[in-house]
Amino acid sequence: KQEVTQIPAALSVPEGENLVLNCSFTDSAIYNLQWFRQDPGKGLTSLLLIQSSQREQTSGRLNASLDKSSGRSTLYIAASQPGDSATYLCAVNWDNDMRFGAGTRLTVKP
Amino acid sequence: NAGVTQTPKFQVLKTGQSMTLQCAQDMNHEYMSWYRQDPGMGLRLIHYSVGAGITDQGEVPNGYNVSRSTTEDFPLRLLSAAPSQTSVYFCASSYGLGGGYEQYFGPGTRLTVT
């Protein structure tokens, strides 16, 4: 059964820190992996998508990596800001079956 | 481009009532899907469609029906609402699920069943 796990469930850091969010998944035969941001009471905003053939993607202060063989992805956030506070969700796609992790709730303190 | 729109934003139902959650997209996406999000859990796939006239079940389909008569619309029907269906429902669309196709999400419908 395909499963996605995110650790930690919650993270609190002071402003300016670099941080890493983790996502692990069963079954390495994925189509792609997508990282989302969700603000309280809102929908999901796509941050980065990594295709199966790629190792990483970057957008601004965000960098996502993918290691299919070990079933892991990381989302690196550089120089965190209070505006980065949100829940970050990892979603893995296996052939029309997209599974989400439960998310990491990030708080960046001024 | 309005993107993915969902109506209503909030809904309260009594047990046993039926209703339809609406979802529409204006991006000409073939793939559309419905998820539910419960506290402490990730989103779970209810039903999806790979094009007009084609639908299939996801991880948690029981108690829900879908149909796809046009590319733009993908309504979700609750046949007989139960308290266990209290959740936030998200609709999503994309050109496909493989490769570099991003999924775009609507703002969600918050449903309470009493």
Q: Which of B33, B59, B90 sits opposite A44 (nearest CB)?
A: B90
Q: Which of B42, B92, B108 sits opposite A102 (nearest CB)?
A: B42
pLDDT tens readout for residues B10-49: 999 999 999 999 999 999 999 999 999 998 788 999 999 9
Contact B97 A95 (CB under 8 A): yes
Contact B103 A98 (CB under 8 A): yes
Residues of A in contact with B58 (CB under 8 A): 97
Chain A residues with CB under 8 Å of a chain B CB are: 4, 6, 31-32, 34, 36, 42-46, 49, 51, 89, 91, 93, 95-103
Of A10-19, A60-69, A87-96, where does mean pLDDT reach its minimum? A87-96
Contact B105 A44 (CB under 8 A): yes
Contact A31 B99 (CB under 8 A): yes
pLDDT tens readout for residues A2-55: 899 999 999 999 999 999 999 999 999 999 999 999 999 889 999 999 999 999
User: Residue B9: pLDDT above 80?
Assistant: yes
Query: Where would I find the beta strands (DSSP E) of B1-114?
Result: 4-7, 10-13, 19-25, 31-37, 43-51, 54-57, 64-66, 76-78, 87-94, 104-105, 109-113
Q: pLDDT value at position B42? A: 84
The candidate with the shortest Cα–Cα distance to A90, out of A43, A44, A40, is A44
Q: pLDDT value at position A1? A: 75
User: Residue B100: pLDDT above 80?
Assistant: no
Region B61-87: mean pLDDT is 97
Q: pLDDT value at position A10? A: 96
Percent over 90 (pLDDT), chain A: 87
